[in-house]
C-alpha cells in the first residue's frame, strides 16, 4: 500500500515556496518592463479604455472599477498605485497624467478618487502601445476575459524611473536616469563601447535632485547591481540664514523641520518651510555668532538632509528572481526592443499582404465585372455566389469576401485608380517591413528614434566637477588626491574631522593624522565665504585657516596638528 503522507516540514517548505513565488512575481518585484502586476493592469485597463494622451480624462472611480475586474484587491490599493504612477517627485517620467490633487512630497494624501481623473501620459502610452501585438495574453483570475501575461516594453521605464518593492527573501530598488542618458548608454552598447567607458560617464538623476556624495562608488554599484549611495540636500548661506533645497529622494520637508525642532537647539532662532511654486526649500535662521559650516555638517548627521539610497537591481523573468548588473538590464532591454519591433513589423506586413491579396483579386476580376454582377444577381444566397466566383475565377476566400463587400461607387474610374494606387502603397509597406525584420541596423535606428521623439522633461542638470559629464540632476562629488592649492571634494564622509583655526588641535579620537601616510588624507572642502589672507600648511598645501574637512581612510579619527 502506497504511503501518501508527507512531513510537516516538507508541506511548510512547499507552501512557502509557492507563496513566495506568488508574492514576488505578482506583487512585489518588477520585471524588465519596470512594472509590478497592479501597475501593468492599471495601464492596460487605461489603454483598453482609450485614455490616450490626446483624449479626455476619465474619472478615477471608473478606471479603478475596470481594473478590479483584473486585479483581485480593494479599490483603495489600486487607486494608491494609480496615484503613484502620476507623481513627478516620485518618477522622472510619470506614466499617468493626473487631473486633481495627487499627494505631495510631504506625504500629503491624494484627493478622494471621486474628485480626480486621469489618462495615460505620453510615457505611459509609449510604454504600452504595442502590447496587443507583442505580449501574450492569459485568462484573468475570474476567467471573465484576457489580460497581458507580461509586457514587452517600448519605453525603458525600468531604467529611467525608480522601481521599489519588498517581496519574500527578495527586494528591488532601481536608480533613476534621464532618457538622454539611457539613450546614450544604449547607443554605446550597440556600438560595442567598452563597459568601463560606458559606466565611467553614467550618473543617476533623481526627480528631486540633490548632491550625490559617493559618485566614485557608482561603477561598482552598476557592475554588481547592489550598493548604497549618499544623497545630500543642496544649500546656500544668506547672512544668518541657511536655505536648503533639493532634498534627498523621498525625504519630506516636514520630517526635517520636525527633527530640527525636536533638538531645541539654542543656536536656532527659527526653522520653517519657505517653498513656493518654483522651488521647494527649508530656511533655518541662526544666531549671528554661529559657525554655519560646522552647524550644517552637524545637521547632515542628525537629520535626513543626508540620506542613503540602497540600490538593489533585482528583477524576475517569470521563472526566477535574480540580481542583475545595470548593463545586463540595458542589454536585455535592447534585445526585447528587437523582438518587439520585429513583431510589430511582422504584424503590419501580414496585414498589408492580406489587404494586397484582396485588392489583387478585385483587379483580376475587373475585366469580367459584368459576369461577376450576373453571378451575384442569379445566386440564391451569398454562400452560393461566393462558391461560384471562387470556382470560375480561381479566387481565394479572402478575395471572394472582398469582392462581395465592394461598393458600387468603387467601380468608377477614379475608384479603380485608387485601388491600384493602394496596391502600390501596400507593396512599398511590405518591402519596408521586410527590411525591418531582416536588418538589425534598421531596428536600432527605429529604437533610438522612438526614444528621442518622446517629450523632454525639465529635469535639473547641475554638476560642479569639470571631470563629470553635464548630464545629471544630482551634483556629484568624487574623491580625488589633493594637490597644492586645490579645493577638492571627497565621496565618503564616514570618517570626517572638522578642524578650525581657533582649535587647531581639535581631538576626535584615534591616532595622530601627521603619522599617517600622506595618500591616506584627502582635503574635502574649504568654504569660499571665508575671507582670510593667512594660510596653514597641510602636507605642503596652503590652506585657509577656516573650517577644513579631512577624510581619514584608515583611522576612525585623528589629532590634526597644524
Please state whether beta strands 171-173 and 211-212 pair in parallel, antiparallel, or not at all (unpaired): unpaired
> Which of 177, 155, 187, 252 lies closest to 221 in space, CA to CA?
177
Helix axes 397-405, 326-365, angle to 10 degrees: 70
Q: What gap in Å lies between CA 283 and CA 292, rounded to an integer?
A: 13
Strand partners, 173: 164, 312
Q: Would residue 115 show up in a list of annotated catalytic residues for this protein?
A: yes
Locate cell 501593468: which residue? 40
Q: What are the backbone angles phi and psi of residue 540, rounded to the nearest 5°? A: 85, 0
For residues 228 and 381, what is the distance between their CA atoms, to the nearest angstrom?
A: 75
Q: Residue 413 is placed in which grid cell?
A: 474610374
Task: Decide if 60 contacts 116 (C-beta within 8 A).
Answer: yes
| Bridge partners (DSSP) listed for residue 475 | 211
Which of 19, 57, 93, 115 is the catalytic position?
115
The pairing of strands 548-552 and 521-525 is antiparallel
Tell me the helices (H) and strands (E) count for the chain, helix number first: 18, 24
Q: How many residues does the chain have?
A: 562
Exposed, middle or buried: residue 346 (CB in 10 Å: 0-12, 13-18, 19+)?
middle
- Which run of H or E residues covers position 321? strand 321-323
The continuous run of DSSP H or E covering 435 comes out as helix 413-438
Give the DSSP H or E segment for 430. Answer: helix 413-438
Q: Which candidate, 100, 205, 88, 79, places its Cα nearest to that of 469?
A: 205
Query: What DSSP letter does each residue of 169-236 carry, written as one string?
Result: S-EEE-----HHHHHHHHHHHHTT--HHHHHHT-----TT--EES-GGGHHHHHHHSEEEEEEE-EEE
Residues catalogued as catalytic: 115
Amino acid at each position: 500500500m502506497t504511503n501518501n503522507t508527507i512531513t510537516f516540514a516538507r508541506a511548510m517548505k512547499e507552501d512557502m515556496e509557492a507563496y513566495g513565488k506568488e508574492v514576488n512575481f505578482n506583487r512585489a518585484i518588477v520585471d524588465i518592463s519596470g512594472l509590478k502586476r497592479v501597475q501593468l493592469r492599471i495601464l492596460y485597463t487605461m489603454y483598453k479604455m482609450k485614455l490616450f494622451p490626446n483624449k479626455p480624462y476619465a474619472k478615477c472611480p471608473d478606471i479603478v472599477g475596470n481594473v478590479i475586474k483584473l486585479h483581485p484587491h480593494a479599490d483603495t490599493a489600486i487607486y494608491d498605485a494609480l496615484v503613484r504612477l502620476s507623481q513627478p517627485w516620485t518618477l522622472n517620467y510619470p506614466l499617468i497624467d493626473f487631473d486633481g490633487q495627487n499627494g505631495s512630497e510631504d506625504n500629503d494624501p491624494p484627493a478622494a478618487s471621486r474628485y480626480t481623473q486621469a489618462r495615460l501620459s505620453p510615457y505611459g502610452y509609449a510604454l504600452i502601445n504595442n502590447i496587443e501585438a507583442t505580449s501574450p495574453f492569459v485568462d484573468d483570475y475570474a476567467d471573465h476575459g484576457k489580460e497581458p501575461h507580461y509586457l514587452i516594453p517600448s519605453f525603458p521605464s525600468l531604467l529611467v524611473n525608480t522601481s521599489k518593492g519588498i517581496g519574500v527573501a527578495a527586494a528591488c530598488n532601481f536608480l533613476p536616469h534621464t532618457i538622454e542618458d539611457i539613450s546614450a548608454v544604449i547607443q554605446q552598447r550597440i556600438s560595442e563601447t567598452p563597459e568601463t567607458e560606458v559606466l565611467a560617464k553614467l550618473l543617476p538623476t533623481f526627480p528631486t535632485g540633490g548632491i550625490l556624495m559617493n559618485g566614485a562608488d557608482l561603477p561598482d554599484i552598476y557592475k554588481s547591481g547592489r550598493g548604497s549611495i549618499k544623497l545630500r540636500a543642496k544649500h546656500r548661506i544668506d547672512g544668518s540664514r541657511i536655505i536648503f533645497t533639493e532634498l534627498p529622494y523621498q525625504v519630506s520637508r516636514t520630517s526635517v523641520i520636525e527633527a530640527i525642532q525636536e533638538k531645541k537647539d539654542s543656536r536656532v532662532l527659527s526653522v520653517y518651510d519657505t517653498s513656493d511654486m518654483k522651488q521647494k526649500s527649508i530656511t533655518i535662521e541662526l544666531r549671528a555668532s554661529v559657525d554655519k559650516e560646522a552647524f550644517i555638517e552637524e545637521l547632515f548627521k542628525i537629520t535626513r538632509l543626508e540620506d542613503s539610497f540602497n540600490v538593489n537591481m533585482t528583477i524576475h523573468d517569470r521563472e526566477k528572481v535574480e540580481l542583475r548588473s545595470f548593463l545586463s538590464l540595458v542589454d536585455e532591454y535592447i534585445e526585447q526592443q528587437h523582438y518587439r519591433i520585429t513583431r510589430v513589423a511582422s504584424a503590419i506586413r501580414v496585414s498589408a499582404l492580406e489587404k494586397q491579396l484582396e485588392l489583387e483579386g478585385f483587379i483580376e476580376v475587373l475585366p469580367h465585372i459584368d459576369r461577376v454582377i450576373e453571378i451575384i444577381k442569379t445566386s440564391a444566397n451569398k454562400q452560393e455566389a461566393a462558391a461560384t466566383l471562387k470556382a470560375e475565377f480561381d479566387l481565394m476566400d479572402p478575395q471572394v469576401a472582398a469582392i462581395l463587400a465592394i461598393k458600387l461607387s468603387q467601380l468608377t474610374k477614379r475608384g479603380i485608380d485608387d485601388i491600384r494606387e493602394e496596391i502600390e502603397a501596400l507593396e512599398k509597406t511590405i518591402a519596408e517591413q521586410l527590411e525591418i525584420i531582416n536588418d538589425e541596423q534598421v531596428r536600432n535606428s527605429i529604437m533610438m528614434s522612438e526614444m528621442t521623439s518622446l517629450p523632454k522633461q525639465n529635469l535639473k542638470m547641475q554638476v560642479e566637477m569639470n571631470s563629470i559629464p553635464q548630464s545629471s540632476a544630482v551634483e556629484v562629488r568624487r574623491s580625488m588626491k589633493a594637490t597644492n592649492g586645490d579645493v577638492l571634494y571627497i565621496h565618503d564622509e564616514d570618517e570626517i574631522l572638522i578642524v578650525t583655526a581657533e582649535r587647531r588641535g581639535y581631538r576626535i579620537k584615534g591616532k595622530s593624522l601627521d603619522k599617517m601616510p600622506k595618500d591616506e588624507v584627502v582635503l574635502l572642502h574649504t568654504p569660499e565665504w571665508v575671507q582670510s589672507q593667512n594660510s596653514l600648511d597641510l602636507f605642503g598645501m596652503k590652506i585657509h585657516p577656516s573650517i577644513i574637512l579631512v577624510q581619514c581612510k584608515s583611522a576612525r579619527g585623528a589629532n590634526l596638528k597644524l
